[in-house]
Structure 1
Amino acid sequence: MSHDEATDDLITSVDGGVLQVTFNRPKQRNAMTWQMYQGLYDACERADQDESIRVMVLRGAGGDAFVAGTDIGQFREFTGEDGVEYEGRISRILGRLFAVNIPVVAVIDGFCIGGGLGIAAAADIRICRESARFGVPIARTLGNCLSTSTLGALVRLIGQSLTTDLLLTARLMDAAEALRSGFVTAVADDLDAEAERLTGRLLGNAPLTMWATKESLRRLNAADSVDDDDIVSRIYGSNDFAGAVDAFLSKAKPEWHGR
């Protein structure tokens, strides 16, 4: 039995116990709007409230990107206080995704960067096509920062050394490196077939055992909570960030002054 819901930018459907969530802005590489973030949160609520749903799958439309960050146009005229509110909101949404009671699978095709990498990191299992690229290139694009909760999720998944390298160099990691690092567990030419095989396996496993594993990990990770409001406020309230947003939207190269 299938039931579908759709907006312009995010599509959800349920079929055979699987909740499919598709980020649907292919012309913008599925860059996330506030509405899409809220739609993702609502999908998490739906996954936990509907007992017929056993697995949740996240995808990006179009084949060019899973999610290529947050829509930059939403950052115009940001203040430090706005930045703290934004990062807090993202942390809550990603925390909600991580806390979903059922297995969450990220099926990654193309670019998975910035906010997209955060979304993928909050899933339980990640698989990708060979063309996938991963990273947080904000040191050369916007000059903003990650919240410590998102940073911590990356450190737990791929280690501090690689996380630091990706953030300081602003480079992108290819699928082979993502597989070696453990960020993804499979690289497949036929990504749809691999996703179907994986979801089929999860559907056949004991729900309570999978929930216990997820909930125990969530509690372990909750111990790493850090107050980072002062860091986030300084970055999002900086002249560098404001200038980089304008430069990005006008397709110019940002200039960094450290203030």
Structure 2
Amino acid sequence: MPEAESVEPILVDRTAGIGWIRLNRPRQINALSLALRSDFCTALAELQADRDVHVIVISGNGERGFCAGADIKEFAEVHSLTEARQARAVVSWSAAMERVTKPIIAAIHGYCLGGGLEIALGCDIRMASPDAVFGLPEITLGQIPGGGGTQRLARIIGLGRAMDMVLTAERMSALEAKSCGLVTRVSESRDALEYDVRTLASALASRGSAALAFAKEATKASTDVDLPSGLRLEGDLFTLLMSTPERMAAAKAFQNKSNRAPLPLTAAVAGG
């Protein structure tokens, strides 16, 4: 039997439209215990339902890393394949992340391995410190990534690079991760990471929640549907936003600003 957690495995904070989920098993590099998985799913559902939260950030406590993956001690011995399958179904954090319509940002430092990388892959924006290290070591343990790694990674960095990472279990540095699109932003230092993440999250939280949700939905759909279907979805969502109070207020503010000053040559004009 796994030992009971001596601390809360997940810490949740809400401030200024941002819901922050911190993985909180620093002595184990935030390894994914069953308790952490369950609390993580609960936290995601609660933040999704909270109308005052517009953006979610996921980070890991402790100096050593974001998350080192599954807690091997809990999964070393399998008594029943049926029980193992049922346990995964009950605490499927991968599925829980798919149900979130709000933008999710991963703030990654240190080790981001196995299930930790799979959590990051489930986020919409991945930001890292220069010391971040990425990898999927499951093949060295006679297993394959089971939290979305084989599916999401190829969609993000391409089939060839993903196949290399999955089959070789070789690790990737923060700069390598940025070069292939695994992360989109690398902060100047670990200390700067939380500031940079909070600044971006605050900017997103200040925007219309419906527009954020629809933009996320349409962009994610682009990897799953053909172009005509994607364009129809984009057009439908664009039209639905036309009547929202947030959109009309933004348009009025833009019009008032334009009436006071010449429109810059680089100003974008909404399509449709």
Both structures adopt the same fold (TM-score exceeding 0.5): yes
* Structure 1 contact 10–21 (Cα < 8 Å) conserved: yes
Task: Name the structure 2 match of 1:49.
Answer: 49
TM-score by length of 1: 0.77
Quote how far apart the aligned CAs of 1:84 are: 3.8
Q: Distance in 2 between matches of 1:150 and 1:172?
A: 14
Q: Which amino acid aligns with 2:73?
A: G
Q: Distance in 1 between matches of 2:169 and 2:149?
A: 16
Quote how far apart the aligned CAs of 1:221 are: 5.8
Q: How does 1:121-200 map to 2 (within 5 A)?
A: 121-140=121-140, 142-147=141-146, 149-188=148-187, 189=189, 190-200=192-202
The structure showing larger relative contact order (alpha-carbon pairs under 8 Å, at least 6 residues apart) is 1
Quote how far apart the aligned CAs of 1:80 are: 3.9
Q: 1:89 to 1:221 in 2, by over 3 A?
A: farther
Task: Name the structure 2 match of 1:214.
Answer: 216
* Structure 1 contact 135–173 (Cα < 8 Å) conserved: yes
Q: How does 1:54-65 map to 2 (within 5 A)?
A: 54-65=54-65
* Structure 1 contact 112–133 (Cα < 8 Å) conserved: yes
Give the secondary structure class of the aligned counterpart of 1:182: coil
- Structure 1 gap segments, 5+ residues each: 1-6, 224-259
Per-residue CA distance 1:89-110 (angstroms, 9 max, x = gap): 56x4212213312111100010
Q: Distance in 2 between matches of 1:217 and 1:98?
A: 13
Q: Distance in 2 between matches of 1:80 and 1:185?
A: 38
Quote how far apart the aligned CAs of 1:43 are: 1.3
- RMSD, aligned CA: 2.2
Q: Distance in 1 between matches of 2:205 and 2:106?
A: 16
Q: Distance in 1 between matches of 2:86 and 2:135?
A: 23
Aligned residues: 216
Q: How does 1:61-76 map to 2 (within 5 A)?
A: 61-76=61-76
Task: Name the structure 2 match of 1:250.
Answer: none
Q: Distance in 1 between matches of 2:90 and 2:219?
A: 22
Task: Name the structure 2 match of 1:10.
Answer: 10
Q: Which has the larger radius of gyration?
A: 2
Give the secondary structure class of the aligned counterpart of 2:8: coil
Q: Distance in 2 between matches of 1:195 and 1:148?
A: 24
- Structure 2 gap segments, 5+ residues each: 1-6, 226-272
* Structure 2 contact 18–202 (Cα < 8 Å) conserved: no
Per-residue CA distance 1:226-253 (angstroms, 9 max, x = gap): xxxxxxxxxxxxxxxxxxxxxxxxxxxx
Task: Name the structure 2 match of 1:202.
Answer: 204
Percent same amino acid at aligned positions?
29
